[in-house]
Structure 1
Amino acid sequence: MPSLWSPTDWPQRLAELQAATGDVKEVPLRRDVRSLGMLLGEVLREQAGEPVFEAVEELRKVAIARREEDAEGDAAGARSHLQQALFRVHGLDLATSYKLARAFGFYFELINLAETNHRKRRRLASQLQVDAPPQRGSLRGTLRRMKAAGLSAEDAMAMLRRVCVTPVFTAHPTEVARRSVMFKRRRISDLLEQLDRVPQPEATLEGLERDVLAEITALWQTDDVRSARPTVRDEIRMALDYYESSLFDTLPVLYEEVAAAFCAEYGIKETALPQLVSFGSWIGGDRDGNPFVTPEATREALGMAKALLFWHYGQRLQWIFEQLGSSTQQAPVSGELEELLKRYQAEIRLSGQTEINSRFPFESVRLAIVCVMMRIGGVPQAAVLSGVTVGLKPYVNGAEMVADLLIVRTSLVENRGERLARMLIDPLIMEVRTYGLHLQTLDIRQHARVHAVAIQELSAWSAPVAGRPLSVPPGLSPQTQEVLDTFRAIAQLKTEYEAETIRTYVISGATSAEDVLQVVWLGRLGGVRIEAVEGDPGLMPVPLFESIEDLQNAPAICRELWSSETYKPLLESWGMRQEVMLGYSDSNKDGGMIASTWEIYKAHRAVHAVARECGVTLRLFHGRGGTVGRGGGPTHRAIYAQPLDSFSGEMRITEQGEVLNWKYSDVVLAERNLELMIAASLDAVVRPDRIVAKPGTACLTGELKPEWEKVLDTLSETSYAFYRKHIVDDAEVFTYFEQATPVSELEHAQIGSRPARRTDKKAKRSMADLRAIPWVFGWMQSRQLVPAWFGVGHALANFAEQPDGMALLQVMAREFPLFLDMVRNVEMALAKSDFGIARLYASLVEDEGLRDRVFSMLEAEFTLTQKMILGITGQTSVLEKNTVLERSIRLRNPYVDPMSLIQVELIRRKRAGDDSQEMNRAITATINGISAGLRNTG
């Protein structure tokens, strides 16, 4: 029987794969989805039995019928089909419910893999279209507009040197994927990519299909639900996997693409690029609310990262050693290389009084590679160096390793080996400049309240005196002791590892300059060098402004801090550079979508103004989440939406655990994501559209007109007051949230090391102590997505009642990037919401009066928000102008719906008394499935 992927015509298959426009380009995606669905059906019949397969099909058909009738405006028919689905779910036993939830969840796992493969496919197809316009968000497109704006190659390179983007990987309390599941995903993804090769024998296609079927079977037989919470070590390992699976191979590709784009657009043969990317992590350093992040966990995070990096360097050097057999009998080496080797040979001792150069006669370059490997703790496999009694001292920092590699490179270039230098040495130099000897910097984070308590306990203790050993006063609380232990660990680790490894200390909940100075005092007390000295960047305190009030106060706080005589010497040691972090999650939870978006924008602009006033070079750290309710959304659009003249070109941005797989699981995806960040940063620095914009034409220049600022002030004030009154200050809404969402199931789901709340489980529950992530998680799972849109409709409708109000909003959506970004993100959230399903979750609320009041309020605001967004965008339905996303959500919804119904039914049974391990496992399966279907958790 032919493979499901067998073509009737290979030329037609090729045309589909490289199609630039039209429906033809979507044919491969539809084929993958259809074929994977058929294979999953085969696995379900075999592994779970025919009754389970039939139940899946029945629920799927009813859900599709309900969606079709809803789209046609037949509300009664839609409700009827929903009741049919509820009836089917209500009669299911627990074991069958669990299997059904897994089945639908697996369907989304496969859909996600198919869509990811299609993104890679479209990326390749765009690269084949030499004469086609550059892909949206590409660096080539930005460079082309820069050239059109009159920037020369020298000007463009000067601007590019200002850009450096730093993704900072974080763990995620609602990350659902197990590491073993992620490995199987990657295997299926690889097989899908192989199925795209043209042409292939039928036997090969059949073999690949059998392999896909086997992997789906293996996935089904693997526990997708953890039996225990992941440890911090597990989270560290999962994030490091992305370097091994994609990032190590991505970086050389990325720089080649950037260089090629620059040379092509400016008509030059070659160019030397600056460092454009670095990497950071919070995993193992983020203590805020996570008691499991201890000094030992931090040490483990650094050790695991370094071990992985040195393994990678060893692999790269091994390959160079094997490829680079240049002999001095064929090509000489530079005097500088000879001097380097003489110095190293004098340090190395081999048994038998032999010298190391005798092992490599005439192969000076290869010997240099051996020496580099020895300094990172190894030797090439082919270089038998038994009897080394004294080796070379390890590198202290990445700059030392780069210096040695540059000597090798220069020697090759000077002696007719430039091609060899470019192919073998240049990529490694670029990697060492990026990764150093640490791979990624590790931020330490703790809440300002914890520091304040520690200061209070230690206030009677005098500051440490140089040369005097520190002693700990008796009776410290465990929390304060942990604070001191953390700083002592930092001091020790900065001597054991490259000092660059730990250079920032993030202060959550910062509300004053004193919060920053307290970290300086505590750090010194723990023996940490705060100021930068040669070879050590010190430890910079980074205030994180999170709430609406704190964002509004941020400029004044920064001015006070940067004007402080106590702090000025530290700033000077850091070259008058300072990092400040803006939090998206808590500001949204605190004030709603519009207020959060606008206050972050204003804080961004104002803090930059204060920095200029104080002579400080500011780098902002954006704490964006994966969902719209936590600052998520398209990265390129968000970066470009930054205020004019308030961006230096350098930025750090959190990459939450839930989006790492979507962005970094594959070389093509990782390269595209990093390119988007670089291109957007360059675009935001140069603003070429602003340079060439013609008066009177609609163009996203980034300019904020005074009348638009007044509009946003009004929208923010209106939405903030409405959100606070109806969400934050209404205690019954929190009761509704806890009962009408599965947020309480997080503690049973075993899907993150961090507790969902900052307070003890026995403490009275309140919205104040709930983290922003589970807040968004609960609303997302219940299909209500309240944080992403509540208050938006009310504010927009109020403003639209003014004369020409709607027309002004429409102009802003066309011409102001920040407003457009917000409108599009709200639109996406509306598309993922479903108040037909949400009503079922609301039925879980015990108090009928409370339930009806809150649900009616939410539904009314949802309907109003949808009406206003459609009016502003000029659409008849949400995502009408974003056909790719609309198709994806439309395809998924009928399969998410059954899992929502199952989840509601299981939560109802659990609250009625069936609180068993099996019940918790089944509910977690629905959480996994809904997360995969909506492509977001929290």
Structure 2
Amino acid sequence: MPSLWTPTDWPARLAELEARSGDEKQTPLRRDIRSLGTLLGQVLREQAGDALFDAVESLRRIAIARREAEATGDEAAGLLHLNEAQALTHETAADPTTAYRLARAFASYFELINLAETNHRKRRRRASLLDAAATPQRGSLRGTLRRLRATGITRDEALRLLGHICITPIFTAHPTEVARRSVMFKRRRISDLLERLDGILLPPSEFDALENELLAEITALWQTDDVRSARPTVRDEVRMGLDYYDASIFSTIPVLYKEIANAFAAEFPSEAGFPSDEGQPSIAELPLVVSFGSWIGGDRDGNPFVTAQTTCDSLAMARQLLLDRYLKQLQDVFEQLASSTNQAPISAALQSRLNEYLQELRAAGHAAPQDHLSYEAVRHMIACITLRLGGSPPATMHRNLGLTEEATLQPYRSAAELLSDLSLLRDSLAANRGLRLAELFIDPLLLEVRTFGLHLQTLDIRQHARVHEVAVDELSAWHNTASLQLPAPLSPQTAEVLATFQGVAEIKQSAPQAIAQYVISGASTAQDVLRVLWLARLGNVHVEGGDVEQGHDPGLQPVPLFESIEDLRNAPEVCRELWSSEAFKPLLAAWHGRQEVMLGYSDSNKDGGMIASTWEIWKAHRALHEVARECGVTLRLFHGRGGTVGRGGGPTHRAIYAQPLDSFTGELRITEQGEVLNWKYSDVVLAERNLELMIAASLDALARPDLHAAKDESAHLTGAILPEWEAALDELSVTSFAFYKQHIIDNPEIFTYFEQATPVAELEHARIGSRPAKRTDGSASKQRSMADLRAIPWVFGWMQSRHVVPAYFGVGYALEAFIGENPKGLELLRGMMRSFPLFLDMIRNVEMALAKADFGIAKLYASLVEDAALRDRVFATLESEFDRTRRMVLAVTSQTELLERDTVLSNSIRLRNPYVDPMSLLQVELLRRKRGGESSEELDRAITATINGISAGLRNTG
């Protein structure tokens, strides 16, 4: 029997892979999904038996029938099918072990669907690059450069603008990635096999072999525990974050810069002057446009497991990974590059540096008096670089230089020293008829060193302002006490705060650039920043910055994180007070006039709802830049966005372009969390596309070519805001905030409903991340309430139960009120949808969230609430606002159905729903049993499996 992927018509298969529009381009995705489903069915029969397979198929058919009935408006039939599915779930899942396997079956399907969709994104990315003459997409760098050229910007001006861009993704360990590390490795192997199945002119036997490998990997996936037996440690989370470097990021960097070089060559073909032979900039000479950072191992806000030691371990693991990478690259270059001075000379500068190293080795007795292959000077230099990095050169290097086993050279003290050696090597090759060799072998390594330095990624430290306040009070008592009176012992929390700063001081002795920012959660006053400086000085941290490019200590800059609606509103004046302070000005000067401020999306949304959060962040963004200009400060904003819409999620490139006009310097840092990491960085093609989108959007937001273009239909998203738009958003924000506060924040019934109608309490058993779901340290409030519930579990609970409240509550009410009170309100809002990026981005994100919600399923979760009257009141409020928001979003977007203009996402959600629904029914059934008193490890395991499955199905956790 031929493989499920074996084509009957090769030209048709090639046409599918090349297709750029129409239904044909979706054919490979449908084939992958259908074939993977078939293979999974085979595995289920083999591994779990026909009874489980039949139960899965029955639930799937009933769920599809329910969805089809509702789509045609037959609510009675839809309810009938829903009741039938509930009854079948109750019967099938009577045994927790069977329930667990049932959940796993649907979750496994989503694992495969997600991989198929990811592979299709890669497929479409490659197809878009086949035709060089095709109009570049708006999100691409070529598209942005083309619009820059159209407005009269030259190549040199475009390169100068690019020099201002630097995107820094910050990897975080918030508990939003439910997959175990071992599962992630299996995902990558399946993904690789799917990509190989797209090969052209493969013989039938190879298709058969690839399908058999897929079947084996799916079997291995089924036999691997998806539920952790223990909560991951911080060290586990560090390893998961570092995995993405080997998986994609290291290899992505040269690909990304090559794409940038190609884009410039394509869009400015007539302008000479590029250094390389092909009329385009060398990748090693392009401005540095991306760097990387992490919070994993440094973020101790609410996480008692992050200590001074874990911070030190995190940095050591990152450094070791990077050194291993450099040493492997050097060995590869050594094997590939055997340039001989008998064939091409080397530069005098390279010879001089090499002589210094050889003299050092001979003086220490580590090398023979005269090496017998001195004409292989390039290899000698590579061996010396390897020694300075602390590695052991390959045997060939040892023989060439006559090295002893103990051979060492003085270690590199900074990345600048390593770059100097690599640059000497590159320049020597380029000057002696070896430019192609330099570009192929040395430029990628140069790029990596420029990007990663000797530390791989910066590690931010984060702690809550209230914890600092307590620490300063305690430590001040030690300083102010009378000489014959001992103060009270330090609390463990304050002792750890002091240990953190002492640890930072020690780390920066050997790796000064690894830690440069200290993020202050819950910042609300200038004193919150000054307290961190006080504590840093007490811990012997040098806070003033030096020349970073020369490898000097950049210091330690406190970064206030403004999170609540009130704090966002006060942020500009707080920063004005700080930046104009005589005590703070010398520090600003030491940091070269630069200051970073962080804006929190998650807590502001939890605090004020979607519209108020979005608008207050946007206004704070603009006002902070205005204050920075007044105070002579160069401001860089750090955007704390989550994975879901309720936590600031959504397309990142769209959000970058939606920034306020004249309020962007080209640099930004942005958090990448949980499942978002896998979605964006699991593969080189995906990582390169994601980074290109962010770079292109940043260049677009900095240059604003549409603002300077001819006033026609193509130049409407300029980023400029009209007075009537600002007034409209002010009104929408006030209205939605008041409604949200009344019905969510100030409504005590919501907290009770939330805890009982969602699986939020099961986070502990899910063992998703190392951080507790609630604050338990000095940053916690004194009583159990929503104030102590972190934004991640808040969004998690509503998403799992299909309420999706944080993404829309208050939006419909505000839109309806605005349209009702303004005769031309709807017309104005539709104009904002066409012309104002911020409003467009917000409404599209709300629309996506509405499409993922399901109040038919949410009502089943509501049945878990013990107080029937409370349940009915809250559910009615939530459902009413959902219906109103859906109605108003359709009106503002001029659509009849959600996602009418995004057929890819619409089809994906429609395809997934019949498979998510059974897991939701199963989760409700299992939660009801647990709330009824049933208790067992198997039951907890089954509930966790439903959490994993629903997360995979919705592609969102928290």
Task: Quote the residue 1:199 is aligned against.
Answer: 201
* Per-residue CA distance 1:11-57 (angstroms, 9 max, x = gap): 11011011111111100000000000000000000001000000000
The answer to whether structure 1 residue 811 and structure 2 residue 821 are counterparts is no
The answer to whether structure 1 residue 765 and structure 2 residue 784 are counterparts is yes
The answer to whether structure 1 residue 822 and structure 2 residue 842 are counterparts is yes
Instruction: Say which SS state the counterpart of residue 612 (structure 2) adopts.
Output: helix
Amino acid at match of 1:793: G
The answer to whether structure 1 residue 729 and structure 2 residue 722 are counterparts is no
Instruction: Say which SS state the counterpart of residue 11 (structure 2) adopts.
Output: helix
Alpha-carbon distance between aligned partners in 1 of 2:902 and 2:26, rounded to the nearest angstrom: 15
Task: Quote the residue 2:633 is aligned against.
Answer: 616
Task: Quote the residue 2:276 is aligned against.
Answer: none
User: Does the CA contact (< 8 Å) of 1:441 and 1:501 recur in 2?
Assistant: yes
Task: Quote the residue 1:689 is aligned against.
Answer: 706
Amino acid at match of 2:386: M
Q: How does 1:79-90 map to 2 (within 5 A)?
A: 79-90=79-90
Task: Quote the residue 2:492 is aligned against.
Answer: 478
The answer to whether structure 1 residue 15 and structure 2 residue 40 are counterparts is no
Task: Quote the residue 2:910 is aligned against.
Answer: 890
- 1:363 Cα shift? 1.1
Q: Taking structure 1 as reference, are residues 636 and 331 closer, same or farther at Cα in structure 2, changes over 3 Å only?
A: same
Task: Quote the residue 1:245 is aligned against.
Answer: 247
User: Does the CA contact (< 8 Å) of 1:351 and 1:387 recur in 2?
Assistant: no
* Per-residue CA distance 1:312-350 (angstroms, 9 max, x = gap): 001111111111111111111111111111211121148
User: Does the CA contact (< 8 Å) of 1:593 and 1:791 recur in 2?
Assistant: yes
Task: Quote the residue 1:175 is aligned against.
Answer: 177
Instruction: Say which SS state the counterpart of residue 459 (structure 1) adopts.
Output: helix
- Could you tell me which of 124, 127, 144 is aligned with 2:126? 124
Task: Quote the residue 1:563 is aligned against.
Answer: 580
Instruction: Say which SS state the counterpart of residue 505 (structure 1) adopts.
Output: strand
Alpha-carbon distance between aligned partners in 1 of 2:487 and 2:173, rounded to the nearest angstrom: 34
Task: Quote the residue 2:642 is aligned against.
Answer: 625
Alpha-carbon distance between aligned partners in 1 of 2:480 and 2:370, rounded to the nearest angstrom: 55
Q: Taking structure 1 as reference, are residues 230 and 744 closer, same or farther at Cα in structure 2, changes over 3 Å only?
A: same
Q: How does 1:482-631 map to 2 (within 5 A)?
A: 482-497=496-511, 499-534=512-547, 535-631=552-648
Instruction: Say which SS state the counterpart of residue 558 (structure 2) adopts.
Output: strand
Amino acid at match of 1:315: K
Alpha-carbon distance between aligned partners in 2 of 1:762 and 1:44, rounded to the nearest angstrom: 48
Gaps of 5+ in 1: 465-470
The answer to whether structure 1 residue 70 and structure 2 residue 89 are counterparts is no
Number of matched pairs: 931
Alpha-carbon distance between aligned partners in 1 of 2:761 and 2:841, rounded to the nearest angstrom: 32
- 1:473 Cα shift? 6.4
The answer to whether structure 1 residue 665 and structure 2 residue 682 are counterparts is yes
Q: Taking structure 1 as reference, are residues 791 and 158 closer, same or farther at Cα in structure 2, changes over 3 Å only?
A: same
User: Does the CA contact (< 8 Å) of 2:546 and 2:590 recur in 1?
Assistant: yes
Alpha-carbon distance between aligned partners in 2 of 1:613 and 1:813, rounded to the nearest angstrom: 32
Alpha-carbon distance between aligned partners in 2 of 1:82 and 1:611, rounded to the nearest angstrom: 57
- 1:380 Cα shift? 3.0
Task: Quote the residue 1:426 is aligned against.
Answer: 443
Q: How does 1:902-921 map to 2 (within 5 A)?
A: 902-921=922-941
Task: Quote the residue 1:37 is aligned against.
Answer: 37
Instruction: Say which SS state the counterpart of residue 460 (structure 1) adopts.
Output: helix
Instruction: Say which SS state the counterpart of residue 242 (structure 2) adopts.
Output: helix
- 1:697 Cα shift? 7.4
Which sits farther off after the overlay, 124-133 or 861-870?
A: 124-133
Which sits farther off after the overlay, 131-140 or 482-491?
A: 131-140
Task: Quote the residue 1:221 is aligned against.
Answer: 223
- 1:898 Cα shift? 0.2
- 1:916 Cα shift? 1.1
Instruction: Say which SS state the counterpart of residue 429 (structure 1) adopts.
Output: helix
* Per-residue CA distance 1:407-464 (angstroms, 9 max, x = gap): 1111111111111111111111111000000000000000000000001111234499
Which sits farther off after the overlay, 259-268 or 74-83?
A: 259-268
* Per-residue CA distance 1:880-908 (angstroms, 9 max, x = gap): 00000000000000000000000000000
Gaps of 5+ in 2: 272-278
- 1:175 Cα shift? 1.9
Q: How does 1:135-146 map to 2 (within 5 A)?
A: 135-146=137-148
Instruction: Say which SS state the counterpart of residue 787 (structure 2) adopts.
Output: coil
- Could you tell me which of 347, 352, 359 is aligned with 1:339? 352
Q: Taking structure 1 as reference, are residues 547 and 925 closer, same or farther at Cα in structure 2, changes over 3 Å only?
A: same
Q: Taking structure 1 as reference, are residues 456 and 65 closer, same or farther at Cα in structure 2, changes over 3 Å only?
A: same
Task: Quote the residue 1:881 is aligned against.
Answer: 901
Alpha-carbon distance between aligned partners in 2 of 1:74 and 1:683, rounded to the nearest angstrom: 47
Amino acid at match of 1:758: R
User: Does the CA contact (< 8 Å) of 1:548 and 1:596 recur in 2?
Assistant: yes
Task: Quote the residue 1:285 is aligned against.
Answer: 298
Alpha-carbon distance between aligned partners in 1 of 2:55 and 2:506, rounded to the nearest angstrom: 59
Q: Taking structure 1 as reference, are residues 732 and 793 closer, same or farther at Cα in structure 2, changes over 3 Å only?
A: same
The answer to whether structure 1 residue 853 and structure 2 residue 873 are counterparts is yes
Alpha-carbon distance between aligned partners in 2 of 1:756 and 1:893, rounded to the nearest angstrom: 28
- 1:234 Cα shift? 0.4
Alpha-carbon distance between aligned partners in 2 of 1:98 and 1:389, rounded to the nearest angstrom: 56
Task: Quote the residue 2:657 is aligned against.
Answer: 640
Q: Taking structure 1 as reference, are residues 762 and 458 closer, same or farther at Cα in structure 2, changes over 3 Å only?
A: closer
User: Does the CA contact (< 8 Å) of 2:367 and 2:407 recur in 1?
Assistant: no
Which sits farther off after the overlay, 129-138 or 656-665?
A: 129-138
User: Does the CA contact (< 8 Å) of 2:118 and 2:679 recur in 1?
Assistant: yes
Alpha-carbon distance between aligned partners in 2 of 1:620 and 1:472, rounded to the nearest angstrom: 44
Which sits farther off after the overlay, 801-810 or 372-381?
A: 372-381
Q: Taking structure 1 as reference, are residues 354 and 611 closer, same or farther at Cα in structure 2, changes over 3 Å only?
A: closer
Q: How does 1:392-403 map to 2 (within 5 A)?
A: 392-403=409-420
Task: Quote the residue 2:341 is aligned against.
Answer: 328
Q: Taking structure 1 as reference, are residues 637 and 472 closer, same or farther at Cα in structure 2, changes over 3 Å only?
A: farther
Q: How does 1:235-384 map to 2 (within 5 A)?
A: 235-267=237-269, 268=271, 269-271=279-281, 272-349=285-362, 354-355=367-368, 358=371, 360-381=373-394, 382-384=396-398
Q: Taking structure 1 as reference, are residues 758 and 313 closer, same or farther at Cα in structure 2, changes over 3 Å only?
A: same
- 1:533 Cα shift? 2.7
* Per-residue CA distance 1:497-523 (angstroms, 9 max, x = gap): 2x1100000000000000000000000
Task: Quote the residue 2:472 is aligned against.
Answer: 455
Alpha-carbon distance between aligned partners in 2 of 1:87 and 1:262, rounded to the nearest angstrom: 62
Task: Quote the residue 1:467 is aligned against.
Answer: none
Alpha-carbon distance between aligned partners in 2 of 1:348 and 1:720, rounded to the nearest angstrom: 70
User: Does the CA contact (< 8 Å) of 1:374 and 1:392 recur in 2?
Assistant: yes
RMSD: 1.6
Q: Taking structure 1 as reference, are residues 695 and 410 closer, same or farther at Cα in structure 2, changes over 3 Å only?
A: closer
Alpha-carbon distance between aligned partners in 2 of 1:553 and 1:347, rounded to the nearest angstrom: 59
Q: Taking structure 1 as reference, are residues 141 and 668 closer, same or farther at Cα in structure 2, changes over 3 Å only?
A: same
The answer to whether structure 1 residue 48 and structure 2 residue 48 are counterparts is yes
Instruction: Say which SS state the counterpart of residue 5 (structure 1) adopts.
Output: coil
Alpha-carbon distance between aligned partners in 2 of 1:798 and 1:351, rounded to the nearest angstrom: 82
Amino acid at match of 1:493: I
TM-score after normalising by structure 1: 0.98
Alpha-carbon distance between aligned partners in 2 of 1:915 and 1:230, rounded to the nearest angstrom: 23
- 1:352 Cα shift? 6.8
Instruction: Say which SS state the counterpart of residue 45 (structure 1) adopts.
Output: helix
Alpha-carbon distance between aligned partners in 2 of 1:331 and 1:304, rounded to the nearest angstrom: 40
Q: Taking structure 1 as reference, are residues 914 and 345 closer, same or farther at Cα in structure 2, changes over 3 Å only?
A: same
Instruction: Say which SS state the counterpart of residue 476 (structure 1) adopts.
Output: coil
Amino acid at match of 1:893: N
- 1:388 Cα shift? 4.7
Alpha-carbon distance between aligned partners in 2 of 1:472 and 1:869, rounded to the nearest angstrom: 64
Task: Quote the residue 2:186 is aligned against.
Answer: 184
- 1:278 Cα shift? 0.1
User: Does the CA contact (< 8 Å) of 1:582 and 1:622 recur in 2?
Assistant: yes
- 1:474 Cα shift? 5.6
Alpha-carbon distance between aligned partners in 2 of 1:54 and 1:165, rounded to the nearest angstrom: 50
Alpha-carbon distance between aligned partners in 2 of 1:187 and 1:502, rounded to the nearest angstrom: 34
Q: Taking structure 1 as reference, are residues 332 and 82 closer, same or farther at Cα in structure 2, changes over 3 Å only?
A: same
